[in-house]
Amino acid sequence: MLQPFHRCVCSLFIQSIFPFAKAGTEAFHVKKKPLFEALFSLYNKRLLSKHFHTIKVKNDWVPSSHKRGVLFYINHSSWWDSLVLFQLNRYLLKQDGYALMSEDGLKKFPFFMKLGAFPVNSSSYTSVLRSLTRASSLLDEGKALFVFPQGEERHVDERPFTFQHGTSYLIQKARNCEVVPITFYHTLFHEQHPEFFIHIGKSVSIGDDKNRQAATRQLEEAMTIQLDAVKRQVVNGKTEHFDVFVDGSITIGEKWYHRFKKKAVCLTGREEN
């Protein structure tokens, strides 16, 4: 049986599904629900804590003192990315954020509309243009927009990056917005569950003289440099500049390990690192 907390969240999910199913994605209207966001963040934190040993973040972004839209672009390599991103924004970035999401994805998980997602159908030029126009309007209004410019999940170590041109289109359309790269890197290491590392980079300046292709290449290069740096730091164990963002729950394996270690100390009188 579902525990009361999970029943409550599932009930909210169901309430969000049926209105969306009737309206269809073509008649979308982004209307975030603060109560739903608050409840979902509690559920999401518990979910992330259960499945990750730790999620750590390094933040080099300094928000502009002027009210400007912010376009965050993120590499996409796992099913967890959207959930991690939601939690990151709610508790650290704290932006009035929206996200482009595939139409198929929103049909499958319509509750994301209550969290600020709106659909784009990449196979339809009309849908893409409408969604990008809506996105640029949000940036002009001083909102934050989160995009995965790869357009699909790709392996975290795949190089070179290949971005779709929608991100550079938005930068040209909303010229006053900040552009900030966020890199996600996840790995299995010493613990039973994987570790997730996030680096929020400094703003990227895209010159007005650059065409869409050149701007896309600059975004790809900035992402490559930043993600490769995170990978090197993780591989070399140099992660002291990352702060714990989500602390995972103790697994059965860790409980047995600590119990064994405690017993070994009692028997030998020595505590090993």
Convert the pLDDT of each residue in 176-185 to its tens digit.
Answer: 999 999 999 9
44 pLDDT above the threshold of 80: yes
C-alpha 196/C-alpha 220 separation (Å) is: 21
pLDDT tens, 65-95? 888 999 999 999 999 999 999 999 999 999 9
- Residue 12's nearest CA partner among 54, 40, 50 is 40
Mean pLDDT of 208-225: 96
By the 8 A CB rule, do 61 and 201 touch? yes
Per-residue pLDDT averaged across 12-19, rounded? 38
Task: Share the mean pLDDT of the chain.
Answer: 86
In a domain, 99, yes or no: yes
Mean pLDDT computed over 15-25: 38
Domain-embedded: residue 33: yes
Mean pLDDT, residues 220-245 taken together? 98
pLDDT of 264:
60
Closest CA to 128 of 104, 102, 160, 95: 102
Higher pLDDT, 165 or 269: 165
* Contact between residue 173 and residue 132 where contact means Cβ atoms under 8 Å apart: yes
Residue 10, in any domain of the structure: no
Residues 6+ apart with CB under 8 A from 135: 98, 100, 145, 147, 170
Better pLDDT: 253 or 55: 55
- Give every CB contact of residue 139 below 8 A, 6+ residues apart in sequence: 69, 70, 71, 145, 170, 173, 174, 177
In this prediction, residue 238 carries a pLDDT of: 97
**Mean pLDDT value of segment 231-241:** 97
Please tell me the predicted confidence (pLDDT) of residue 267. Answer: 67
pTM of the complete model: 0.83
Strands 117-120 and 195-200: unpaired
250 domain residue, yes or no: yes
Question: What mean pLDDT is predicted for residues 131-159?
Answer: 96
CB 217 within 8 A of CB 162: no
230 neighbors 185 (Cβ within 8 angstroms): yes
Span 108-134, average pLDDT: 90
pLDDT exceeds cutoff 50 at 12: no
Give the residue from 111, 115, 114, 119 showing the smallest Cα distance to 17.
Answer: 111
Identify whether 18 is part of a domain: no
In whole angstroms, give the CA distance from residue 226 to residue 61. 13
pLDDT score of 189: 87
- Total structural domains in the chain? 1
Residue 24 placed within a domain: no
Cα–Cα distance measured from residue 165 to residue 212, given in angstroms and rounded to the nearest whole number:
7
Q: Is residue 258 included in any domain, yes or no?
A: yes
Residue 9 lies in a domain: no
* Whole-angstrom distance, CA of residue 37 vs CA of residue 187: 28
Domain containing 230 equals 29-268
CA atoms within 13 A on the CB side of 154: 14
CATH number at residue 47: 3.40.1130.10
- Spatial strand order of the sheet with 70-74 comes to 117-120, 97-102, 144-147, 70-74, 178-187, 195-200, 54-59, 243-247
